[in-house]
Structure 1
């Protein structure tokens, strides 16, 4: 059994944070499913920008679409190819989805980042993409912004699987967890089924340490703060998981569970290590526990397969995690401010990637 398979056995599902047409067509995804027990895939505008913006893998697809749809916009051309990739990934993972009875086997496609601050439009976009992909193991990615919360609730209420993205703070996570619950409760109030609806809450980790560590290096908190470097993101994630454990034991959740509801799993995102001084498997080794997902870029997945450590780390040293966050506040490192900034930067970054992607596609567009 590979270390990645052991990770799944320990309760943390292994997902790949990457999608690419050549990788799909050459069987790369199927190999990870077969050999490492991979059970999911995530995508985002940055991933598609890199995939479509380099090489010739998509040229044939664009040409065929252009012939059938002359004069199509860059956005329409992008969607035509992104949807094909997502459908292919869904089809590869469909046997996993069926084997696990809809507990896993999901592929995520993000709504346009331009809609991150437009709740009603996000819900409409989610439903449109759900119908366009037309696969039961699709998850629609919706940003966990204040505007996204209502869209998450409404999308779940329609029976559409949701991957909530760009979560950095525990408070933001609680809001989207409640949105998931309210969407399920709306369905039960109408006697609609909830037993095959899935959701994950994507909690970003490494970017928090990057911000906090930069502040410490700049002198915030003085020498005392140096002991917190590389610890704040993990502590933040552990306390989010502690809240998750409390909530799924609550009467409110148990009523839904009795009707077949599946818990909204915490998904650890941004798990590639940015600081070369830290172990390259840091954000996998330290976040292992039941009902979680870790979505890894290929480099991190390779590293964990080679030398990762599997142990039930999420529930270990929770009091220490509370101490780390208390010290973070005491020393003026402003975790709340950092997480708000990271949401804004995440939305801006994905929008820029989308801008760049559409420019690349326009450049490849036939003239005349």
Structure 2
């Protein structure tokens, strides 16, 4: 019998997490089947995923009614719904979490997207959600915005597992990695163990190409369409290897600290001209995570190619980014634009979700 293609990815040191959650999917055994059959090793969620789950199902109606007691805001009602799903998913992954010695088996829940530019409020909500979920294999998602950096450091310093989301640019990614290290140092200096803390940095891919590809065409660099995001990811991995080595890191590693793994996000192909498994295939390598939508898992299971690709063609990646810069394309400005748009892309479904819950409350 042929080995499952998705499962093969883990033999190269990469963990596949599912970028999807809903109550029915947990309850009907489909998530458990992905864990058993495809080797899925974690779950990520975001406001858009929960908006789709809650607004398209009546499975949440009874809980909305129970939580709508007049004492909670609509946002608090939402988190009550989401936390139940996150807890159930965490429980499904608990065995894997234990077997992998806390390497995998994580389920991510995001702070309110309305707080993306409010560092202190983000930190306070991260602490609250961590306490409310009450599962050691949960990760709280914090956007990697400039104000989010301090929230990331403070949360790690509290011993909270953090999934840093909405990363597009290399300079910001490095700042995030250093915030994680500083948080570990703070936690250690306060007299605590650090071996239990886990974190990932979610680097978004296909949205980079969606924005940059038309500009490449205009500049006569059409042959690099669909390549800038992958080149950026390969350079991010070089930063990862540099930051998580050397004397500063080794001191923490000696105390059991785990590196903050890079996680590839936005890995479905937005351009129909590209192979639907393009981004997954291009970035398979050790000590990384790829969070993949369900349809991309199905596609990879059918025709994906698992190989150790992440550190191949690194010279080409450097050349592509150099040519883009030489053509006058400011990647740092464009990735900041993507961060700003990303915040709005999560705000809109979150507003829609809160409106849906509000409407449900008055049925």
User: TM class, shorter-chain normalised?
Assistant: over 0.9
Corresponding residue number in structure 1 for 2:56: 54
**SS state at 2:201 partner:** strand
Distance, in Å, in 2 between the alignment partners of 1:120 and 1:75 is: 18
Distance, in Å, in 1 between the alignment partners of 2:63 and 2:34 is: 25
Deviation at 1:245, TM superposition (A): 1.3
Deviation at 1:206, TM superposition (A): 0.2
Deviation at 1:6, TM superposition (A): 0.9
TM-score, normalising length from structure 2? Answer: 0.97
Corresponding residue number in structure 2 for 1:10: 12
Corresponding residue number in structure 2 for 1:133: 133
1:350 aligns with 2:346: yes
Unaligned runs of 5+ in 1: none
TM-score, normalising length from structure 1? Answer: 0.96
Deviation at 1:319, TM superposition (A): 0.6
1:330 aligns with 2:330: no
Distance, in Å, in 1 between the alignment partners of 2:70 and 2:344 is: 31
Distance, in Å, in 2 between the alignment partners of 1:166 and 1:269 is: 9
Deviation at 1:228, TM superposition (A): 1.2
Equivalent residue for 1:298, pick from 282, 287, 294: 294
Deviation at 1:56, TM superposition (A): 1.4
1:201 aligns with 2:197: no
- The CA deviation string for residues 255-296 of structure 1, in whole angstroms up to 9 with x for no partner, is 111110001000000001000000100110000111100000
Distance, in Å, in 2 between the alignment partners of 1:60 and 1:278 is: 43
Corresponding residue number in structure 1 for 2:256: 260
**SS state at 2:361 partner:** coil
Contact 2:234–2:283 under 8 Å retained in 1: yes
Distance, in Å, in 1 between the alignment partners of 2:29 and 2:100 is: 22
RMSD, aligned α-carbons: 1.1
Number of positions where the alignment pairs a residue of Structure 1 with one of Structure 2: 361
- The CA deviation string for residues 141-160 of structure 1, in whole angstroms up to 9 with x for no partner, is 00000000000000000000
- Structure 2 counterparts to residues 90-109 of structure 1, below 5 A: 90-109=90-109
**SS state at 1:290 partner:** coil
Distance, in Å, in 1 between the alignment partners of 2:249 and 2:72 is: 46
- The CA deviation string for residues 92-147 of structure 1, in whole angstroms up to 9 with x for no partner, is 11111111111111000000011110111110000000001000000000000000
- The CA deviation string for residues 320-362 of structure 1, in whole angstroms up to 9 with x for no partner, is 1000000111112221111000000001111111101001111
Distance, in Å, in 2 between the alignment partners of 1:305 and 1:29 is: 15
Equivalent residue for 1:236, pick from 227, 232, 235: 232
Corresponding residue number in structure 1 for 2:361: 365
Corresponding residue number in structure 2 for 1:143: 143
**Which moved further from structure 2: 188-197 or 165-174?**
188-197
Contact 2:177–2:243 under 8 Å retained in 1: no
**SS state at 2:147 partner:** helix
- Structure 2 counterparts to residues 17-28 of structure 1, below 5 A: 17-28=19-30
Distance, in Å, in 2 between the alignment partners of 1:75 and 1:150 is: 24
**Which moved further from structure 2: 308-317 or 245-254?**
245-254
1:84 aligns with 2:84: yes
Distance, in Å, in 2 between the alignment partners of 1:255 and 1:140 is: 26
Deviation at 1:71, TM superposition (A): 5.7
**SS state at 1:295 partner:** strand
Distance, in Å, in 2 between the alignment partners of 1:329 and 1:295 is: 29
Distance, in Å, in 1 between the alignment partners of 2:188 and 2:62 is: 46
**SS state at 1:266 partner:** strand
Contact 2:16–2:41 under 8 Å retained in 1: yes
Corresponding residue number in structure 2 for 1:214: 214
Distance, in Å, in 2 between the alignment partners of 1:214 and 1:354 is: 29
Deviation at 1:60, TM superposition (A): 2.4
Would you identify which runs of 4 or more consecutive aligned residues in structure 1 move more than 4 Å? none
Equivalent residue for 1:317, pick from 313, 316, 327: 313
